[in-house]
Amino acid sequence: MEYNITLLKGDGIGPEIVESAAAVLEKTGEKFGHKFNFTNCLIGGCAIDETGIPLPPETVETCLASDSVLLGAVGGPKWDDQPGDNRPEKALLGIRSAMGLYTNLRPAKLYPALRSASPLKDSIVGRGFDIMIVRELTGGIYFGDRGYRQGKFGREAFDTEAYSVTEIERIGKIAFDTAMKRSMKVCSVDKANVLESSRLWRSTMHRLAENYPQVEYRDMFVDNAAMQLVRDPGQFDVIVTSNMFGDILSDEASQITGSIGMLASASLGEGSRGLYEPIHGSAPDIAGTGKANPIAAVLSGAMMLRLSFGLGDEAESIEQAVDKVLNDGFRTADIMSENCKALNCMEMTERILDNI
């Protein structure tokens, strides 16, 4: 099979980690008889430097014409003086909207070899955890009406949280379908004791749950969910929630795994094409030093193979290669622990390639 993949390397460590992920995809293709054609496009700060805007039309056109997209990271202090509507991060919302991506899948998995890196006690994480956070991506307070007005205390700012039944149903269905392929558990997170939008969210999710009698379903308020993630993360399988709550909870979940440099993500819409990216930032302070951890980008490539291309065996071969390298005691700086061997970004990539 032949697939066309757009590479959006972006800023900071983005080029290094995307090149690593592309090398792993290429090696996997050679092993399984697939050909991956890569096209590089500009996004973020580097696009501002070249074109004056963070998301050039050519980038959008190429992404829409590809089979899937692999993104590195965008942003950095170099572009802090840009106006709000022209900052590098604006490109992320733009490309997600252009591609019609309303679902963000963020796995938070504690690798046994990295158990000591988790900030949680061994008595909490000793049995490990494997959570999938399903975050609604194109609605809610991040996309609602906003502005300034005169309030009772003078000038005030406002942001509006709004969700339709359609938006809740489509993200809820993704969550239940995902749970059917995992451990058959869904936890829907909201703030229905305060927010009207959450009350609609909860009633809609309850109705959806009736269509999935095999799945164990429960509701949880977001403040309790934040607490439960650090008290007993192993209780969760699939968490489904709104845009803002998902943004916060997925970052919390990533931290309890031990390193944000290990975690991939997928943004999906109606078709098979998706946008895949590590959840960490551009880390401009270590760009070009070799200290970047390529594993999250590599695992994002594995998610692409599985979710967009239906290549489960190929994805598993990458995941097993990462497991083998970690179990053999090789580490990048962010996950380094006693008695392990430190590797730079390229050396870690080469180790993974050797195990494909």
Give the pLDDT band (50/70/90) at residue 348. very high
CATH code, domain carrying 236: 3.40.718.10
238 half-sphere exposure, CB direction, 13 A CA radius: 24
Give the pLDDT band (50/70/90) at residue 22. very high
pLDDT at position 84, please?
84
Residues 242 and 150 in one domain: yes
Q: Which two tokens stand for residue 15?
A: 């080029």
**Could you say which of 256, 282, 300 is where a domain stops?**
256
In the set 78, 130, 251, 323, the catalytic residue is 251
φ, ψ dihedrals at 90, nearest 5°: -60, -25
Mean pLDDT of 6-31: 98
Name the pTM for this structure.
0.90
For residue 137, tell me if it sits in a domain: yes
Give the pLDDT band (50/70/90) at residue 288. very high
Q: Give the amino acid at 168.
A: I
In the set 11, 67, 190, 247, the catalytic residue is 247
Mean pLDDT of 35-64: 98
pLDDT at position 302, please?
97
Residues 305 and 235 in one domain: no
Residues 46 and 174 in one domain: no
Structural domains in the chain (count):
2
In the set 78, 109, 130, 142, the catalytic residue is 142
Of the candidate ranges 111-120, 258-267, 268-277, 280-289, the one whose mean pLDDT is the lowest: 111-120
For residue 169, tell me if it sits in a domain: yes
Active-site residue flag, 237: no
Residue 236 sits in which domain range? 119-256
For residue 29, tell me if it sits in a domain: yes
In the set 191, 276, 291, 334, the catalytic residue is 191
Residues 304 and 250 in one domain: no
For residue 340, tell me if it sits in a domain: yes
Active-site residue flag, 291: no
φ, ψ dihedrals at 239, nearest 5°: -110, 130
Residues 207 and 287 in one domain: no
Residues 202 and 313 in one domain: no
Active-site residue flag, 223: yes
The larger pLDDT score, comparing residue 143 to residue 325, is at 325
Q: 108 and 246 in contact (C-beta within 8 Å)?
A: no
Task: Report the sign of the C-alpha dihedral through residues 312, 313, 316, 321, in that order.
Answer: negative
> Model confidence over 44-53: pLDDT tens digits?
999 999 999 9
